[in-house]
Structure 1
Amino acid sequence: MFSIFLLISWITFLFIFIFVSDLSLFLSSLSLTFTFTATPDYTKFLTIYVIDLSNQSFILQKFGHAIGFYLLYFFFYLYSKNLKKAFLYSHVLAILTEAAQPFFGRDGRLLDILINSTGIMICAALCLAYKQIHQLHKKAAYKTT
């Protein structure tokens, strides 16, 4: 029951960060505003932006993408107890959120989907490794009894 609470809370938190009109303004003054447009601009979706490693704000934002979806995968996994379902649901949400951002005056980018995916894949690999190690320990404990 607690896992569904964590999952819904995290999705809500992600949606606020993903759909807020001005992320910088929100982070600096907690001004939470949303703008909706019925005619989204998808011209930047395939545009590869310049990766400026000297821009801390840029690095933090992209790191936030990866961490946000890393945790999303983890909470989906806690809820579903299924690695594949968590992987699928997390990726679907990563794609849908980037596709929906232009409706809220933000730029949805293919590169951001890849960054989101990186966080998902890292968490999935760690969860899989943990699951396999846990199973090996259970087998070893069973053999010693």
Structure 2
Amino acid sequence: MRLLLAFIYSIFVIIMTCTQNITKLAVEGPSFQWNPEPDFLRFFDFHSYPFHSQTYLFQKSGHVIAFYFLAFMIHFTIRKGSIGFILSVAFALFTEIAQLYFSRTGCLLDVGYDVLGISLYFILYTVNQKIMVLSSKAQSG
């Protein structure tokens, strides 16, 4: 069951990242536009983004949240933190590269936002585990 949930969520993330127009997704459903010859140099573009735009910040917070939950789902499924982290980061890299083939703006900067969400999950998980250990030691001793 855990594997199925992680798989379904991963498919959801792929659809969200590769659909041609994210704003029309809810109304018209997913639509994909294949680009057989993507411009891989765009993956390394760090200069053409409106960093101060509220829309941009909202969209990138979506990256953080989506990959926070992806890390949770993968970690929940395989129960190994380091492997969960590596698989989550690999998936983030895969989705950003895949966007180049679907006429979207996949970029290394977005991988950074994805990794921020993944890291946030594992940091909060680790802190929570340490608090639980300290709490149980305080109650028992």
TM over 0.5: yes
Match of 1:96 in 2: 94
Match of 1:55 in 2: 54
Unmatched 5+ stretches in structure 2: none
User: Contact 1:83–1:128 at 8 Å: present in 2 too?
Assistant: no
Q: How many residues align?
A: 140
Deviation at 1:135, TM superposition (A): 2.5
User: Contact 1:42–1:108 at 8 Å: present in 2 too?
Assistant: no
Structure 1: 4+ residue segments shifted above 4 A:
none
Using structure 1 for the length normalisation, give the TM-score: 0.86
Residues 17-57 of structure 1: CA distance to partner in whole angstroms, max 9, x if unpaired?
01101223225x3332112222112121111133343332x
Q: Distance in 2 between matches of 1:118 and 1:19?
A: 20
Q: How does 1:21-60 map to 2 (within 5 A)?
A: 21-27=20-26, 29-48=27-46, 49-56=48-55, 58-60=56-58
Amino acid at match of 2:80: N
Q: Distance in 2 between matches of 1:80 and 1:69?
A: 16
Match of 1:9 in 2: 8
Residues 36-90 of structure 1: CA distance to partner in whole angstroms, max 9, x if unpaired?
222112121111133343332x222111111110000011111111111111110
Identity of aligned residues (%): 27
Secondary structure in 2 aligned to 1:73?
helix
RMSD between aligned residues: 1.7
Match of 2:104 in 1: 106
Q: Distance in 1 between matches of 2:75 and 2:81?
A: 6
Which deviates more from structure 2 when the two are superposed, residues 128-137 or residues 64-73? Answer: 128-137
Amino acid at match of 1:130: N
Using structure 2 for the length normalisation, give the TM-score: 0.89
Unmatched 5+ stretches in structure 1: none
